[in-house]
Copies of this chain bind each other. A is one copy, B any other.
Amino acid sequence: MRFTVRAATKDDCKEISRMIKELAVYEKMSDQVKISHEELERDGFCQNPFFECLVAEVPEEQKSTEGFTVVGYALYFYTYSTWKGRAVYLEDLYVMPEFRGNGIGTGLLCKVAEVGKKKQCVRLQLSVLDWNTPTRDFYAAKGGQDLTVTEGWHAIRFDGQSLDSLVHEAPTD
């Protein structure tokens, strides 16, 4: 199957938003998506964007049963290690179910690695859920190291009330 991977433009945000929701439905978490395409436009296409995005596109004659030609996306941003320097973090990697098995996911992943390398990033990181064996195997087969298993890293989050509590405790200027 022919496909191309290119940097997303502001005009792609509706398609990206559609696929974010598809991914959440697949994960049975669709009620969790609070972000609209307007917010993607605002946050990804401003002066200091919060993220960058690649999309995978197929030719018109290979469009999906519902008529879509943008069939996958990889959303990422830059992070920083105080030991090693610049890094790129892959937040979402998604390919529509009917287009899987054609190397599109690998194409998106490798392109993010290439974009990161051009920006002098020395790492590509991402997170996976422990029960998601196919995805864990996919990354492991490509050489990704599970830092939670090998080094014991745990992810901690503050949000909602716990985030507000921190803010209220902040020292005054």
Contact = CB atoms under 8 A, between A and B. Distances in A.
Nearest to A109: B166
Given A143-B162, A163-B122, A111 B170 contact: yes
A139 to B, nearest CB: 5
A86 B125 contact: no
A171 B5 contact: yes
Q: Is the interface of A mostly helix, strand, loop or mixed?
A: mixed
A164 B128 CA distance: 21
B156 A82 contact: no
Contacts of A168: 110
Contact of A156 (B128, B161, B170, B171): B128
14 contacts: A29-B83, A35-B81, A75-B80, A79-B79, A81-B91, A110-B166, A113-B170, A116-B163, A122-B163, A124-B163, A127-B154, A130-B153, A145-B162, A148-B154
